[in-house]
Amino acid sequence: MAREDEDLEPRNRKPKPKDLTGMSVEELRDYVADMRAEIARAEDTIKAKQSHASAAALFFKK
């Protein structure tokens, strides 16, 4: 059975950065706004997970 090149690459590798050269200024601004919204969503998820972990630690500490 022949191996595919994909089989040799790591499964969790980071995606390549998006090529921004072909984007207009307005598209770039929209892209930045989308990225900021995604960062805020990730930070909210982190806070929620930390809150759950703290609550669980307090519960099991008793």
Contact of 31 with 20, CB cutoff 8 Å: yes
C-alpha gyration radius of the chain:
20
Q: Which sign does the torsion angle of CA 55, 57, 60, 62 carry?
A: negative
pLDDT of residue 9: 67
Q: How many structural domains comprise the chain?
A: 1
Residue pLDDT, tens place only, 11-54: 788 889 999 999 999 999 999 999 999 999 999 999 999 988 88
- Has residue 1 been placed in a domain? no
For residue 30, what are the domain limits?
23-62
- Has residue 16 been placed in a domain? no
pLDDT of residue 7: 66
Q: Extract the tokens encoding 8.
A: 């040799």
Global confidence as pTM: 0.63
| CA dist 31 → 18, 46, 61 (Å) | 10, 23, 45
